[in-house]
């Protein structure tokens, strides 16, 4: 593999060589950051799916509890009207 900057060129103008190394380092860091973001997105999507499932379960439970509460309230009102309470 031939490097774009030879050692002799680096000795003559070290700024260009260092810029080349900086560009390589930035490219590596950018690629690493995108990989980590992809992994984080996948993890968050899994957690979001789990939370949505839990939310659906809790909404169904709330509807059931609301129905039970409504029925009991009606029953108590009827008992009061008939003088049982």
Cα separation, 1 vs 48, whole angstroms: 46
Q: 3 pLDDT exceeds 80?
A: no
pTM given for the model: 0.57
Q: Is 79 helix (H, G, I), strand (E, B) or coil?
A: helix
E strand or H helix that includes residue 33:
helix 14-81
Could you state, in order of their start, the residue ranges of all structural domains in the chain? 18-81
- pLDDT tier at 12, thresholds 50, 70, 90: confident
pLDDT at 47: 97
Question: From the CB of residue 83, how many other CB atoms can be counted at a distance below 10 Å?
Answer: 6
pLDDT tens, 27-77? 999 999 999 999 999 999 999 999 999 999 999 999 999 899 998 999 899
């Amino acid at each position: 593999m031939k490097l774009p900057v030879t050692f002799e060129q680096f000795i003559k103008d070290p700024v260009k060589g260092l810029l080349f190394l900086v560009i390589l380092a930035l490219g590596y860091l950018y690629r690493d950051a995108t990989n980590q973001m992809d992994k984080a997105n996948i993890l968050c999507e899994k957690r979001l799916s789990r939370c949505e499932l839990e939310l659906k379960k809790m909404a169904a439970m709330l509807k059931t509890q609301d129905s039970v509460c409504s029925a009991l309230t009606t029953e108590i009102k009827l008992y009061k009207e008939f003088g049982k309470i």
